[in-house]
Copies of this chain bind each other. A is one copy, B any other.
Amino acid sequence: MPDEGGITTPERLRRRASRLLAHLSAQSDRLMTQGLAAVDSRRWHYAVLASLQEYGPGSQAALSRRTGIYRSDMVGVLNELAERGLVERAPDPDDRRRNVITITAQGRRQLRRLDQVLDDLHEELLAPLLPAERDQFVQLLTRLLDHHTRQTPWPPVP
């Protein structure tokens, strides 16, 4: 009975970039999710806080576009952030469809903390690579992602 208990993954699978991507991404997600949970946070929290910090207050829809989070999911994220006092949601007087989201002082503090945490986690994620290789890795990922997000309309507006 050949290889009955074997954990050897077939060459065909091991070489497929899609598989490597999927598995590594799962691993990375696990890492980040765990690390962020330790400071009572989630991946999406970071994305929203960072966006607010860099571009200032904005509507929920604007935040969706900047972060790539669907506006349906944004509602929940902002609820969580507001609960924790990290952002403030106020109706926009100039456009009553909108909420203006603002980052609070506490939010800025939390963002600094998250940046620290994420730096550490990325150190762990990219541990086996030399600095030059890390740059190259990021560069390759960026080029691929750019290609596919330009090709495909984003966000998907039907």
- Interface presence of A120 (CB below 8 A): no
Pair B143/A128 contact, Cβ less than 8 Å: yes
Contacts of A32 in B (CB 8 A): 18
Taken residue by residue from 17 to 41, chain A's Cβ proximity to chain B (1 for < 8 Å, 0 otherwise) reads as 1111111110111011000000000
Cα A137 to Cα B28 with chains together (Å): 17
Contact call A17/B66, Cβ cutoff below 8 A: no
> Closest B-chain residue to A137, C-beta based?
B140
* A 71-90 to B, binary, CB cutoff 8 A, 1 in contact else 0: 00000000000000000000
Chain B residue with Cβ nearest A23: B145
Residues in chain A within 8 A of chain B (CB atoms) = 2-25, 27-29, 31-32, 43, 46-47, 50-51, 53-56, 58-59, 62, 65-68, 115, 118, 121-122, 125-129, 133-134, 136-138, 140-149, 152, 154
| Interface CB pairs A-B, < 8 A, 19 | A3-B55, A3-B62, A6-B55, A10-B66, A13-B46, A13-B47, A13-B51, A16-B122, A17-B125, A18-B43, A18-B122, A21-B24, A22-B25, A22-B28, A23-B149, A24-B145, A27-B148, A127-B147, A137-B144
